[in-house]
Amino acid sequence: MAQLTDLMNRFTQSKPVTSVASTRVTSLLQELSRCDVEIALRRLDSSSEGLLDREAEERLLSYGPNTIVQEKHVGPLRQLFSYFKNPLNVLLIALAAISFYLGDHEAATIIALMVALSITLTFVQEYRSSHAAERLRAMVSTTATVLRKDRRSGVPDEVNRYFNIHLTPHGPQRREIPIDTLVPGDVIQLSAGDMIPADVRLLTAKDLFVNQSSLTGEALPVEKFSLSESSQDKDALQLGNVCFMGTNVVSGTATAVVVLTGSQTYFGALAQMVSGARSQTSFDRGIHQFTWLMIRFILVMTPLVFILNGFTKGDWMEAFLFSMAVAVGLTPEMLPMIVTVNLGKGALAMSRKKVIVKRLNSIQNFGAMDVLCTDKTGTLTQDKIILEKHVDIYGQENEDVLEYAYLNSFYQSGLKNLLDVAVLEYASTNERLRVEANYRKVDEIPFDFQRRRMSVVVEGKGRHVLICKGAVEEVFSCCTHAEVNGSVVQLDSSHLEQLVQVTRELNQDGFRVIAIAYKETQPNTSNYSIKDEGELILVGYIAFLDPPKDSAREAIAALHRHGVAVKILTGDNEVVTRKVCHEVGLKVDRILLGSDLELLSDEQLAEQAEQVVVFAKLSPAQKARVIKALHLRGHVVGFMGDGINDGPALKAADVGVSVDTAVDIAKESADIILLEKSLMVLEEGVIEGRKVFGNIVKYIKMGASSNFGNMFSVLGASAWLPFLPMQAIQVLTNNLLYDFSQTAIPTDNVDEEYISKPRRWDIANITRFMVMLGPISSIFDYATFALMYYVFKANTPAGESLFQTGWFVESLLSQTLIIHIIRTGRIPFIQSRASLPMFLTTGVICTFGLWLPYSPFAHALGFTPLPMAFWPYLVVILLAYLTLAHLMKSWFIRRYGLN
């Protein structure tokens, strides 16, 4: 085992795999792929007969079980507690605790309920999402067929039965063992339908085709063989004699030696990339920045109010209670609830369109997204091989070609590959092709790797016909004639150029091309062999493609109309990708390959990512790197994918989208899952996200500007008046009613021009809006102060209650009505109207505020009935305020734009 230990130490050095594109593990696979079978076995301290049981036990202790890394489970209590660490929630809880300590239990209860409701809604929505690495493990087969050279001695029979040992104790034994007990050096057997249980080097292979589309993005299965690789710089996934954990055998059989297990496998590396902490999205960053903006504002203003009132009024306890009430009033305590309810409403709207929203904040990110990167296979395409063309040697459609292809696929014995299935499915829709009843099978010449073709012989219509299909070059080599317009002509150099041109054009269009040839044979022959595949008549070609989804072209066009650029990030080759892009209406000037991308620095890649539309032959890590490069240029990036290889990119994106046919790892890494096959729901998701963001920003702009203006009013009044401008209980009541009026914001309408292009967090813009619009409210607060102080003579301690009542009513009504100005860039009430719930809540709160000074609660709240002469003044003040606010808002939008 010493040689194996040295080998592993040299390449892995016991370090976890964190990069799939360039790891020492990849180097190990590449080195072993270039070795002969016997040398590879010796390097792994193994043999073609497998390991001894004691060797396997030792290696299991040394290398650990064959399981991939699991994401650390976060229990429900810990996850619930994590939501309390939000700075805004911490501030609100602290204010609630202070209010409770000072005896203001009502305020403490209200604030605590707001925090609890917001946290509960978020927790319920997000706890249902499970963990990506756990799903990765579930994809792997639970047992593997392994060769071991001796049975266990000196152990109970139950253990032997557990390892399913039925053969003699001499020589290699074929056993079914749990997959987690596989170790490097184990020799395993593979057959059709098996999941590859580890990263392995093939020892023998017969007609072996492996589906690795979930790793590479290639729609067609790839053929694997045991011959040594000659290339020195081949990408690991392109190695013809290496198979990877998580892929599966489509057809054929093989034996292989295990090279890497567990977290050291290519698959395990992906699990590590997916299981780490998620990066902060643009939505998270925006909320975080606004929260700290308001906290800093509160930390400056609250002490100022406290000190100013303490010195001017002389009652420091009253000043402290008032400053605490002001702090609560300044805190946008409804923000967590408004955000959560808005996102929840968006998630509910999307669920009606058969879309699962796993992470609530992804709704807003969907709307802010200005670049959507997408995998090709299974997302834009149907992830299903279909027969697209059946043409003669000149590229013209020909029914005889289809009939010969159908007979070959129908009568082929054994497991039919995807191309045969595509031919049979195509024929099932064409009654004229149901010709098998007119034929019977005589013999078959099976496919093998050297010939790369197969033939069937059928009898019908009084003749024996050998029908051959296979790789174009191999079938060409057997043909001496060709069928042209129903006539058989001898092939010569004049035909060769035409044959090559037709197949080249098909290949350049992204088609997988299979040649079809035939010849009539002697009716008395019943046994056929490879030597009979000669002097064939080339009849034409069948061409296959993984076609785009019907809705792909329309969906991409719709995204472009809404300001979202679409880029393709695929592991498939550039030829097929260019064809699909043409089909879905994406203009491709040039394609950046993974091999070229690897040579670029992050800054160079960021520059290229701005210009390039298509990236091909990418590894999973390279997909994630392209997304990070776009982040460097300030883009909000979405990614849509469905394969194992899309997990890291889905996680790196601001919003990850998966489709209905995706593997579990993609669904678990995604934020949004589309259950319908139509991609048009992408446009609807973008619009819904922009509506959600628009309504959140309405609350933020209104709250920030209103609070900023109120502080000018409070500071001025505190310095000027001999009494408090408003009692603490009145401030809290005003704040509670105002907050209630905002609960209908999530239901509000959003103007068409707002949702026409991506919107993102712009704290600088919000700050400018707060600074410019906030003082306007102070102007009319001071007008109210002057009205109460000079007109209604509320300038003595006896008039204190009247002054406070007048400002309470004006402040509540102006704050409640201003949402109708701020909610739209248009003329309010005329060009743009709020939703019915918004009108109702505004009306209810305004009415309640007008009633309070005359209500049974007036005395407890310190209110005095207002004189009738006050109301005309109030109407003028409110109309003037709303008009000036609209004019300032309109100027602001012209100057700084709508956001």
Catalytic residue positions? 375
At 583 the three-state DSSP class reads helix
Report the distance separating Cα 880 and Cα 872, nearest Å. 12
- Compute, in degrees rounded to 10, the torsion defined by CA atoms 258, 261, 266, 269: -170
Identify the burial level of 234 via C-beta atoms within 10 angstroms of its C-beta, where 0-12 means exposed, 13-18 middle and 19 or more buried.
Answer: middle
Report the distance separating Cα 761 and Cα 525, nearest Å. 78
Report the distance separating Cα 691 and Cα 685, nearest Å. 10
Report the distance separating Cα 210 and Cα 195, nearest Å. 10
- DSSP E strands, 62-221: 143-148, 173-178, 187-191, 199-211
Closest CA relative to residue 657, chosen from 644, 673, 668: 673
What the block records as the tokens of 551 is 């809705």
Report the 10 Å Cβ neighbour count for 874: 18
Element (H, E) at 657: strand 655-658
Residue 552: partners with Cβ closer than 8 Å, 6 or more residues away: 380, 381, 583, 584, 679
Report the distance separating Cα 420 and Cα 302, nearest Å. 76
Identify the burial level of 892 via C-beta atoms within 10 angstroms of its C-beta, where 0-12 means exposed, 13-18 middle and 19 or more buried.
Answer: middle
Element (H, E) at 466: strand 463-470
| 428 backbone dihedrals φ, ψ, rounded to 5° | -65, -20
Element (H, E) at 656: strand 655-658
Closest CA relative to residue 483, chosen from 396, 406, 389: 396
Query: Distance of CA 611 to CAs 570, 617, 738, Å?
Result: 17, 18, 48
The label of the residue with tokens 């309920």 reads 113
Report the distance separating Cα 845 and Cα 851, nearest Å. 10
What the block records as the tokens of 823 is 């909610």
33 residue type, one letter: S
Report the 10 Å Cβ neighbour count for 194: 20
| 444 backbone dihedrals φ, ψ, rounded to 5° | -145, 140
At 199 the three-state DSSP class reads strand
Please give the span between the terminal C-alpha atoms of the chain, in angstroms, as a whole number. 66
Report the distance separating Cα 617 and Cα 429, nearest Å. 35
Please say whether the beta carbons of 834 and 820 come within 8 A: yes
Per-residue DSSP letter, 600: S
Report the distance separating Cα 251 and Cα 208, nearest Å. 6
Please say whether the beta carbons of 355 and 673 come within 8 A: yes
Closest CA relative to residue 670, chosen from 208, 359, 347, 213: 359
Please say whether the beta carbons of 365 and 281 come within 8 A: yes
Residue 6: partners with Cβ closer than 8 Å, 6 or more residues away: none
Query: Distance of CA 600 to CAs 17, 607, 626, 645, Å?
Result: 22, 10, 11, 21
Report the distance separating Cα 649 and Cα 662, nearest Å. 14
Please say whether the beta carbons of 784 and 810 come within 8 A: yes
| 640 backbone dihedrals φ, ψ, rounded to 5° | -120, 125
Closest CA relative to residue 672, chosen from 685, 688, 687, 691: 685
Per-residue DSSP letter, 747: G
